[in-house]
Structure 1
Amino acid sequence: MGKTPSLNLLKGSKTMKDTVRYVELKEGEGNHEHEPLSSGSRFFHEPGFNIYILTKIGVNSTIHIDAARDFCIQMVAKYPCFSKVVVKDKESGSMNWVRTHVNIDDHLIIPEIDQNMESGDKFVEDYVSNLTVSCIDNSKPLWDIHILNARTSDAEATCIYRAHHSLGDGLSFMNMLLSLSRKASDPEALTTLAANKKAHHHTTKAASFMSFCMVLWNTFVAFMLFVFTTMFLKDTQTPMKASPGVEDRRRRIVTRSVSFADIKLVKNAMNATVNDVIVGIVQAGFNRYLKGRYEEINSPVPENILLRAMMSYNLRASVNVDAATKNTNEDETWGYKVGYILLPFNVKNRSDPLDYVREAKAIMERRKASFEPFATRFFAKTLVPKLFGIKIAGKLNRKVYYNTTFGFSNMPGPKEELCFLQQKVTYLAPSIYGIPSGLMIHIISYVDKVTFVLSAEEETIPDPQKLCDDLEISLHHIKCSVLDKPCAEK
């Protein structure tokens, strides 16, 4: 079996536990090209919150170096943030973005691969796992691309795109990737996102004074729960809840794809949304997984478990990829523009699998009838930093992750097959590492599939493929219940 490259072969990387060093701004070097980091970006340079976005992209043929290099050149030319480094002022401690020269070869990593290896899937998984305990040197722009021309069960080659979260949020990077790619069916046409429309925000119209009061009440309750969580309110200690220091430990990033048609079938039958169905699947999957973990220690599952997700919520006016392509003002489409929702997951055992979806629908409807993501963003990114400074704000922000069980994100993907690096894309799998949580679940749609991407810390979730199995089985049971037919165990 081929040997997985060790960390010292990941050129330009450091371990996550290394002291983060920055280019220092010396006396007389100040100029108009220095741009202060936003409060959202600044959080990701605080201790214990050194988070990277890592996206696996599978393609159906060998990736050529020239195609990868051309992509990097276009990306740097079109998006200035990829040619900036973080510069720290020695006296004030403030941080700024400063333009610098980009040597593409410093960011394009193509390891030698033994084509006779026993398992390409294990090689790619181990390679990514090694990346999750490394970081990029701050003396250069904080991104790189790894090309793995190794055949796996779902791709002929894999591109791993990695960037520091301070550069932007997940939708920023998705728009960037799509704006530099094309439809597989039409090399001249841009692809479109599954939700290629105005983003749905929590702006429920109040039809009456009472409904308006209900929106305010829901917002107040959600806001206070968020504040309490930054201070003392903790989830139940279950096998899925990580211990302190989780952000520095190795992770496994695994994926499982299911049929989008099956999810739509449940959605239409229950008059719900795709997101309602996905949350219901996760609730049911967690129920199965926790029962298995407690059986291992011969213990019953505790009653009344408090299990919540820190859910990221897009606050942009549009999620249309064309906006990123045609709009010359980068500030309109780029950056870290998300709010937070503390989403409770009911993992009690249910005799009817559809109850998981019904409960998810009720929970999501309450969230929609509030301004929770706007309120939590204002508290975390504006109010606390101004009152107490970025250091205290960073600690409180990190504590929300420590006091909840996992992170959750649901992102629309392309509706049509994508051509990336001159090859047809077989799957997209965005994820993150460095997060102070034992588990992060990203869900992304791509053509006719929905992919669950799990970023699992090895001590907290030692068997992430088992959790993937439980999620897939849960969808199968929910679908059978909708069709009112016997459900054989998958």
Structure 2
Amino acid sequence: MALEPSNQQYSPSSWVNQISSLLNIGSSLDMERGRKKMILKPILISKNLNKNVEEEAVLLSPTSQMFHEPDYNVYVLAIMGWKVPIEVDAMKAEIQRTMLKHPRFSSLQVMDEINGSGKMRWVPTTVNIDDHIIVPQIAHDNMDTDKLVEEYISNLSTTNVDMSKPLWEFHVLNMKTSHAEATSIFRIHHSIGDGTSLMSLLLSCFRTTSDPTSLPTLPVSSSKDKSNLSLSNNKKTIWSLMWQYLIKFWLLIKFWFNTVVDVFLFIATALFLKDSQSPFTTTRGYKWSTRQKYTYRTISLDDIKFIKNVTDCSVNDVVLGITQAAMSRYILRRYEVEGKRKFLPEGMRCRANVIVNLRPALGVQTLAETIEKNVKVIQGNCIGFVIFPLTIAQFSNPLDYVRKSKTSMDRKKHSLGSLCTFYVSKLFLKFFGFKGAAKLAKRVPFQTTLAMSNVIGPREEISCAGHPLVFVAPTCSGYPTGIMVHVCSYAKKLTFAIAADEGIIPDLNQLGDDFVDSFMLIKEAALSKLRTKAD
């Protein structure tokens, strides 16, 4: 879809001014958001200080630099539970042996002082590992350690990593919780990479528990074409061939129509189209708090696959179905408490901003080999967005949530919407710079109900420096939305990590329980359907 202005109707400057005026519709967003987290300014460096450093310096990609704009200072938080207490020295040695060989984990992000272009660069530096490994001393006698860990993670959302060192930290909490014997939080600035590239890099530090010499492997998605348009050779008459090409032509038209609609909805959402008011959305004049709250729930991946087989859909369809069911339970409960029993959830606009990785992952094996050979492999941010409609309703059959997700997702799969949103963002970046593109990137999550992401984890149980891993729950801080849901698989488990502004969702643990309860109801409905077929 061509998005360039027509020379006959608009000049480039007038076209940019018109879009800028439309963006000013949401200019009050920056004032409303009002986060008090201090944004650290990039270090200034002179080109004349060190010519060798200048030669090695690499510019940050536009998307990576956009993550440094005010109110868009995003960090990736990888919450990991361990089966044994963490030996800090052993973990420190493993991180130094593997991860520090990656250039982005051993480079500063600096801004040139002379050219005044506002562009930032990666500059290699010597890393003091002790500055990045943080072991807080927390007294937890006769205290709920689960709440202590959640509070510690929430406090991380109010701070930043010092710009005078590479933008990552590894926090160690050696206290037993109901989830694990110890917990660690890997905090990484989003400018270093997206979820897929960071997951591959993180797994390069691990080995399988069954074989300490083997690297983890990621599941390979097999694409199955369920539509069989081919005909047997003895039936390929002229009419059957015409019918076959006619169907393909119709599918092509449908494909491009879906793409145009998805791009239009993305732009409309960025400019004016906002979701209906609900407990998950903000009102005008709402003052954002300085903290985000976090919770996570783990369920069986085998049970997810069982539901997938019974409903003839994908794992993502089941995950989205569980999300819709959990949100429906929470919203209906909140409205019942408030006495608004005449509320009709079917009429509300509720959408998820699904973040999609557009670049194939390098792979754990390939990345580990390149790190061992000291080859500089740079993977940054290459992400698109899918605006996914969520059904908020109370179904008598819980499997209807999964069916609704499958219907919507099948349409999204036959579209280039996510790829086009990436190029729309690049177009805004070209004409409006980092600030304009960051404003667009902030508007989309602000106008939708929640942000969602899915990261594939290893198939086997893994360990790092002799520490077996129990679960991994990736999430974010600083993302401009009221609620986020991140999903990550690991071995035979699937973890939902839920993050929310504490002023919007005061009872986040209740929402986490709603995810588990919804999963159990859908699983029971799938079992009932299987029993009915057997009878």
TM-score by length of 1: 0.90
Question: Could you tell me which amino acid in structure 2 is paired with residue 461 of structure 1?
Answer: I
Moved more, 26-35 or 287-296: 26-35
Distance in 2, Cα, partners of 1:435 & 1:412: 21
Distance in 2, Cα, partners of 1:33 & 1:199: 45
Pairwise CA distance, 1:421? 3.5
Closer, same or farther: CA 207–247 of 1 in aligned 2, 3 Å = farther
**Offset from partner CA, 1:53-88 (integer Å, 9 cap, x none):** 011111111111211211231244421101111111
2:486–2:498 CA contact under 8 A, matched in 1: yes
Does residue 1:367 correspond to 2:400, yes or no?
Answer: no
1:353–1:477 CA contact under 8 A, matched in 2: yes
1:324–1:333 CA contact under 8 A, matched in 2: no
Match of 2:55 among 29, 32, 44: 32
Distance in 1, Cα, partners of 2:334 & 2:218: 37
1:457 corresponds in structure 2 to: 501
Does residue 1:139 correspond to 2:182, yes or no?
Answer: no
**Offset from partner CA, 1:323-359 (integer Å, 9 cap, x none):** 3223579786721122111111011222221111111
Closer, same or farther: CA 106–327 of 1 in aligned 2, 3 Å = closer
Does residue 1:228 correspond to 2:268, yes or no?
Answer: yes
1:20 corresponds in structure 2 to: 40
The secondary structure found in structure 2 opposite 1:363 is helix
1:5 corresponds in structure 2 to: none
> What is the aligned length?
468
1:182–1:418 CA contact under 8 A, matched in 2: yes
Does residue 1:216 correspond to 2:256, yes or no?
Answer: yes
Pairwise CA distance, 1:485? 7.4
2:517 corresponds in structure 1 to: 473
The secondary structure found in structure 1 opposite 2:517 is helix
The secondary structure found in structure 1 opposite 2:218 is coil
Distance in 2, Cα, partners of 1:211 & 1:319: 32
Distance in 2, Cα, partners of 1:371 & 1:214: 11
Larger radius of gyration: 2
1:162 corresponds in structure 2 to: 187
Closer, same or farther: CA 117–55 of 1 in aligned 2, 3 Å = farther
**Offset from partner CA, 1:77-112 (integer Å, 9 cap, x none):** 421101111111232221111111211111111112
| Structure 1 segment 89-104 matched on structure 2, within 5 A | 89-90=112-113, 91-104=116-129
Pairwise CA distance, 1:317? 2.9
Aligned sequence identity (%): 39
Question: Could you tell me which amino acid in structure 2 is paired with residue 346 of structure 1?
Answer: T
Closer, same or farther: CA 197–136 of 1 in aligned 2, 3 Å = farther
Pairwise CA distance, 1:479? 1.7
Pairwise CA distance, 1:40? 1.3
The secondary structure found in structure 1 opposite 2:474 is strand
Distance in 1, Cα, partners of 2:509 & 2:500: 10
Does residue 1:407 correspond to 2:447, yes or no?
Answer: no
Question: Could you tell me which amino acid in structure 1 is paired with residue 492 of structure 2?
Answer: D
1:199–1:318 CA contact under 8 A, matched in 2: no
Distance in 1, Cα, partners of 2:416 & 2:290: 35
Pairwise CA distance, 1:245? 7.6
1:10 corresponds in structure 2 to: none
Pairwise CA distance, 1:321? 2.1
Match of 1:274 among 293, 305, 315: 315
Match of 1:66 among 48, 70, 89: 89
2:389 corresponds in structure 1 to: 344
2:302 corresponds in structure 1 to: 261
Distance in 2, Cα, partners of 1:114 & 1:189: 38
5+ residue gaps, structure 2, are: 1-34, 226-244, 531-535
Pairwise CA distance, 1:301? 4.7
Distance in 1, Cα, partners of 2:224 & 2:201: 18
5+ residue gaps, structure 1, are: 1-14
2:109 corresponds in structure 1 to: 86
Closer, same or farther: CA 308–117 of 1 in aligned 2, 3 Å = same
1:112 corresponds in structure 2 to: 137
Question: Could you tell me which amino acid in structure 2 is paired with residue 308 of structure 1?
Answer: R
Distance in 1, Cα, partners of 2:186 & 2:287: 23
Closer, same or farther: CA 246–436 of 1 in aligned 2, 3 Å = farther
1:215–1:369 CA contact under 8 A, matched in 2: yes
Closer, same or farther: CA 344–198 of 1 in aligned 2, 3 Å = same
Pairwise CA distance, 1:322? 1.9
Distance in 2, Cα, partners of 1:84 & 1:61: 32
Question: Could you tell me which amino acid in structure 1 is paired with residue 282 of structure 2?
Answer: A
Match of 2:79 among 44, 56, 71: 56
Question: Could you tell me which amino acid in structure 1 is paired with residue 420 of structure 2?
Answer: A
1:107–1:145 CA contact under 8 A, matched in 2: yes
Closer, same or farther: CA 360–485 of 1 in aligned 2, 3 Å = closer
Distance in 1, Cα, partners of 2:297 & 2:366: 30
Question: Could you tell me which amino acid in structure 1 is paired with residue 318 of structure 2?
Answer: V
| Structure 1 segment 219-368 matched on structure 2, within 5 A | 219-242=259-282, 249-299=290-340, 300-318=343-361, 320-327=363-370, 334-368=379-413
Distance in 2, Cα, partners of 1:195 & 1:330: 25
2:486 corresponds in structure 1 to: 442
Closer, same or farther: CA 35–481 of 1 in aligned 2, 3 Å = same
Distance in 2, Cα, partners of 1:114 & 1:57: 21
The secondary structure found in structure 1 opposite 2:480 is coil
Distance in 1, Cα, partners of 2:183 & 2:403: 38
1:198–1:317 CA contact under 8 A, matched in 2: no
Pairwise CA distance, 1:308? 1.0
Closer, same or farther: CA 151–479 of 1 in aligned 2, 3 Å = same
1:241–1:438 CA contact under 8 A, matched in 2: yes
1:37–1:97 CA contact under 8 A, matched in 2: yes
Closer, same or farther: CA 74–177 of 1 in aligned 2, 3 Å = same
1:150–1:158 CA contact under 8 A, matched in 2: yes
Question: Could you tell me which amino acid in structure 2 is paired with residue 394 of structure 1?
Answer: A
Moved more, 434-443 or 309-318: 309-318
Does residue 1:385 correspond to 2:405, yes or no?
Answer: no
Match of 1:46 among 42, 59, 69: 69
Relative to its length, the structure with more helix (as a share) is 2
Pairwise CA distance, 1:314? 1.6
TM-score by length of 2: 0.83
Question: Could you tell me which amino acid in structure 1 is paired with residue 476 of structure 2?
Answer: I
1:150 corresponds in structure 2 to: 175
The secondary structure found in structure 1 opposite 2:429 is helix
Distance in 2, Cα, partners of 1:85 & 1:131: 21
